[in-house]
Amino acid sequence: MCFFTNKLTLILSMLILGSLSTTVIAEPNHATIEWAPFVKIEGIDDQQLIEKANTVQTTFISKQPGFIKRELLKRNDTDYADLIYWRNKKNATAAGNKVENCKVCLDYFSLMQAGIQPAQEFSHYSIIKSWPN
């Protein structure tokens, strides 16, 4: 992870209690990792999910100030997560504030089960898609 400095200590909490997205930071002016777990709705395959994720990436996320990198992770046939790297918390928060007005984002979110969180225990995810800046 060449974009992180030696001074940066990342703390990643896997406890997601009732929120769709958790932004975790080491210090206010250091890189920020956004962990956004979700459960995919039935009847949607990985290719359909990746197509919508690609659209969000090219038309929204990649254009946001401070975006570094994004990965779409898969735990099993239903549990997924977006892992997004930002330059700092301010950039992550600013992008998050724009999501509700982003039609392609809402289309992507429509593939996710509202109000249902993936399993909370320790687990391993596979990277099914990665987008560099």
Instruction: Provide the pLDDT for residue 76.
Output: 93
Gyration radius (Cα) of the chain, Å: 14
Sheet containing strand 32-39, strands side by side: 22-25, 32-39, 79-86, 67-74, 126-132
Question: What residues does each domain of the chain span?
Answer: 40-115+122-132
What are the pLDDT digits (tens) for 34-79?
999 999 999 999 999 999 999 999 999 999 999 999 999 999 999 9
Instruction: Provide the pLDDT for residue 125.
Output: 75
Tokens standing for residue 74: 């898969």
What are the pLDDT digits (tens) for 40-52?
999 999 999 999 9
Q: Does domain 40-115+122-132 have CATH number 2.50.20?
A: no
C-alpha 43/C-alpha 45 separation (Å) is 6
Instruction: Provide the pLDDT for residue 111.
Output: 97
Instruction: Provide the pLDDT for residue 132.
Output: 78
Contact (CB, 8 A) for 49 and 41? no
